[in-house]
Amino acid sequence: MFPIEVFLTYTLACLLLVISPGPDNILAIGRGLSQGKLAACISGFASGAGILFHVMTATFGLTVLIQTSVMAFTVVKLIGAVYLIWLGIKVLRSRSLINLKPANKQPIKTIFTTGFLSAALNPKPGLFVLAFIPQFVNPELGSVTMQMIGYGLWFALLTGVGFSLMGIFSAKLAGWLHSKPRVINGLNIGAGLTFITSGLAVASMKQGQ
């Protein structure tokens, strides 16, 4: 169901997305700076749980669209593509997504809730999941639903682990990035190009892919 070459490509794409600057991984970095490794891990995996929420929502909604409505699928696909391209252009223009300002100290429960809601209640991650994962789904290899869930679980896990590691090493990362303005600029450019490329791929996607 998950060809190794496709799975490896998908994993690489997920890792690029995880390390691309954004509000959730910056939140984990802020927790690491202000409250240490435990807070960073909680924030990171809370974001992963929020991504999983979007994965489950997108999985069953997209499956219905694939099976029942060409028009609805096309509308959702174009919305996702336009969003991704717009986000990429915005990132390339601003190049200011990295913010390493420490977060205020808060209870563990608040840290988890904030991390989860930041991802789960933000419609942008949902649109991104809906636009990104289907690129790797192949109906000829089995259930579309199971493939979406499998890829989604892996994406959520990589998100949780990746954000946690960013938070754990945030102190060194912050010091290094502050002395490397070209690297910061490169990360922002990479994030923008990743979003735009994914948006173009989504725009060309056909129903059943």
- Mean pLDDT within 21-44: 79
Span 118-152, pLDDT tens digits: 787 766 677 677 778 887 888 788 887 888 889 99
pLDDT for position 104: 54
Statement: residue 183 has pLDDT above 80? no
Tell me the pTM: 0.65
What is the distance between the alpha carbons of residues 177 and 91, in angstroms, rounded to a whole number? 18
Q: Is the Cβ–Cβ distance between 16 and 92 less than 8 Å?
A: no
Q: How far is CA 146 from CA 13, 97, 139, 151, in A?
A: 20, 34, 10, 8
Q: Is 178 helix (H, G, I), strand (E, B) or coil?
A: helix
Domain layout of the chain by residue ranges: 22-95+107-203
What is the distance between the alpha carbons of residues 107 and 39, in angstroms, rounded to a whole number? 9
Span 66-110, pLDDT tens digits: 556 677 677 767 777 787 788 778 878 877 555 455 545 678 888
| Alpha carbon 118 to chain centroid, angstroms | 12
